[in-house]
Amino acid sequence: MNNLLALPVVLPLLGSLLALVWPRRADWAGLGASVAAFVAAGHIGAEVMRNATLELAVGGWAPGLGIALRADGLSASLLLMSTLVALAAGLYATTYFAEAQKRADFWPLWLLMITALHALLLSGDLFNIYVTLELLGLAAVALAALGGSRAALQAAVRYLTVGLLGSLAFLTGVGLIYAGYGTLDMVMLAGRVDAEPATWVALALMTAGLLIKSALFPMHFWLPSAHANAPAPVSAALSALVVKAAFYLVLRLWLDVFDVALSQASAGLLGLLGASAVIWGSWQAYRAERLKLLAAYSTVAQIGYLFLFIPVLLATEPGEARDLLFGALVLFALTHGFSKSAFFLGAGVILHRAGHDRIAELGGTARALPVTTFVLALAGIALIGLPPSGTFLAKWQLMTSAIAAGQWLWIPVIAIGTLLAGAYVFRVLGHAFGPGEGVGPSLAWARAELPALLLALVATAVLGLGAAQVWTMVVPGSNAEGVSL
C-alpha cells in the first residue's frame, strides 16, 4: 500500500515524458497526469490522517542507503495543495496559452517541476532533497522564461543565478553534515545531531541557501520581477508552490532535525526578518502599479508571516499548544498557496483581456469580468486574513501563541501587515468597481475563470470552514471534531 507514495512523483514524470514525445496531445497527457497525481495525493492524505506517517523504501533498501520516501501530515498536506494548484493552473494554462506550440513547450517543463516538487516533499534524505531542489529551481527558471519577453528573460536569468547560489550553499551544508554524522537520512540525523560548531555552520549554510530560495527579506530582491513577468499559471505555481518548498525545508530542518542545535536567538532573527518582510512586502505591494507585481510583493509579505511562526513555535512548549500552532502554520501555508495562485490566475485573465495589468486603469473590471473580480476579492480576503479564510484562523492562533509566549513584538507587526494587506487588496477592488472601460467588453471565459474561482474558494471557504481537518492531518492524535449536527 505504501507504494502509493511513489505515485505523485512517478505520474507527473510519466506525463512529462508523454507530453515531450507527443506534443499534439500534450494537454491530455498533462491534465491526465495532474488528475492522477491529485487522486494519489488525496489517498495519501487520507492514509496519513489514519496512520500518521507513511514510509516507503524504494527498491527495498533500508533507510540511509536507498531512496526513502516519507509522508507525514506536513508533507501530505502540502502535497495535496500542490497537486490541486497544479491541476487548476494546468487547466487554466490550456486556455491561457493560445498557441499549441506554447503549450507543447509548457507541459513537459511544468510536469517536471511538479515531479521535482513532489519528490522534494516526500524525500526523507538530504541529498535527494538537494537534487530535487536543484531540479525544481531549473524547471522553474525555464518556465519563468516562457513568457519570452525581454524582461521575463532578464528576470529568469537573475532567478537562475540566485537559485544556483542558494543550492550551492545548501549543498555545502549537506556536505558538512555528511562529514560530521555520516548519514543524510533526516530521521536518523535527528537522533544524532549535537549542538556543536560544525552543525551550526552546516545549518547556517543550508538555511541561508533556503532563505534565498524562499525569498525572505532582504533576500527577496529577485522574486518580484521573476514572478511578475512569468506567464500567469507559472507565476501562480512559483508563488504558491516553489517558494513554499524552500520554506518547507527550513521548517523540516529547524523543527525536526536540528531542533536541539538551535537557540531562541536564531529563531528570533528569523522572526525579525519575517517581520521586516511582512511590513516591507506589504508596503511595496501597496505601492505597486501593476497587479502582478502587487501579487509578487504580497508573496514576499506572506512568506514573512510564515517565518514569524518559527520563533513562536520554538518558544512554545512541545505539546498541545505547539501542535495547535504548528497546525496553524500549515494552514497558513496552504491558504496562501491557494489564494495566491488564484490571485495570479485572476490577474492573468485581466492581463489577457486588457493587454495590461496597470491597477489605476482597471476601471470597469467588475462589470466586464465579474467572476474574475470575485476571484480577486476572495483571494484578497485570504491574503488579508479576514474570515472565513484559513489565514484568519492561522493568524488568530499565531497571535494567541505569541501572546502566550510573551512575544508581543509580533502583534503590531501582524496588525500593520494585515491593515496594509487590506489597503492593497481593496485598492485593486476599488479601481475594479470604479467606472471605466479598461478591460473591454463583458465576456465570460469559463475555462480560465473557473479554475481560479475554485482555488479562491478553497482558500477562503473550504480551508476556513474545514480548517479542523488540517489539524487532524498535521497533528497526530488531535481530536478535532467535525460538525456536531
Partner 1 sequence: MSLSNSLPLLILLSSLLPGLAIFLLREESFRLRTALNLFGASVKLILVGVMIWGVFHEQVYETRWTLAPGLDLVLHADALSVLFVSLSTLLWLVTTVYAIGYLEDSPHRSRFFGFFSLCVTATVGLALAGNLFTFVVFYEFLTLATYPLVAHKGTPEAIRGARIYLAYTLAGGMALLIGAVWLRTLAGPLDFVQGGILGGMDHLDPWTLRWIFLLLIVGLGVKAALVPLHGWLPQAMVAPAPVSALLHAVAVVKAGAFGIVRVVYDVYGVEFAASLGVLALLGAAAAVTIIYGSVKALSQDNLKKRLAYSTVSQVSYIALGTAILGPLATVGGMVHLVHQGVMKITLFFAAGNYAEALGVHRVSEMDGVGRRMPGTTLAFTIGALGMIGIPPVAGFVSKWYLGLGAAESGAALWVLPVLVGSSLLNAAYFLPILYRAWFGQPPAKWPGGHTHAGRWEINQALLWPPLLTAGLALAAGLFAAAPYSPLEWARLIAEREYSL
- Contact footprint for partner 1 (CB under 8 A): 320, 324, 327-328, 331, 366-367, 370, 374, 381, 384, 386-388, 392-393, 395-397, 399-400, 403-404, 411, 415, 418-419, 422-423, 426, 429-430, 433-435, 464-465, 467-468, 470-471, 475, 478-485
Q: How far is the CB of 395 from partner 1 (least distance, A)?
A: 8
Cell of 410: 509580533
84 to 120, 302, 343: CA distances (angstroms): 17, 20, 15
- Residue 479: alpha-carbon gap to chain centroid: 27
Q: Closest distance between partner 1 and the C-beta of residue 216, in Å?
A: 24
Residue with Cβ nearer partner 1 (16 or 397): 397
Nearer to partner 1, 202 or 456 (CB): 456
Q: CA–CA separation, 357 vs 292, rounded Å?
A: 7
Minimum CB distance to partner 1, residue 387 (Å): 4
Cβ 253 to partner 1, closest distance in Å? 26
- Report which of 46, 65, 64, 58 is spatially closest to residue 9, judged by C-alpha positions: 58
Between 202 and 384, CB nearer to partner 1: 384
Position 223, amino acid: L
Query: Three cell numbers at 214?
Result: 524562499
Q: Which of 267, 344, 262, 266 is nearest to 302 (CA)?
A: 344
Comparing CB distances to partner 1, the nearer of 123 and 472 is: 472
Q: Could you tell me the sign of the dihedral formed by the alpha carbons of 110, 111, 117, 120, in that order?
A: negative
**Residue 18 contacts residue 31 (beta carbons within 8 Å):** no
Residue number with CB closer to partner 1 (28 or 426): 426
Q: Min. distance of Cβ 305 from partner 1 in angstroms?
A: 15
Distance CA 226, CA 144 (A): 7
Give me the residue label for grid cell 512569468. 230
- Cis previous bond, 311, omega within 30: no
Q: Which is nearer to partner 1, 16 or 372 (CB)?
A: 372
**Measured from the CB atom, is 141 or 315 closer to partner 1?**
315
Strand (E) or helix (H) holding 54: strand 54-57
User: What's the min distance (Å) between Cβ of 338 and partner 1?
Assistant: 17
Nearest Cα to Cα of residue 291 among 241, 246, 235: 235
Least distance between partner 1 and beta carbon 482 (Å): 7
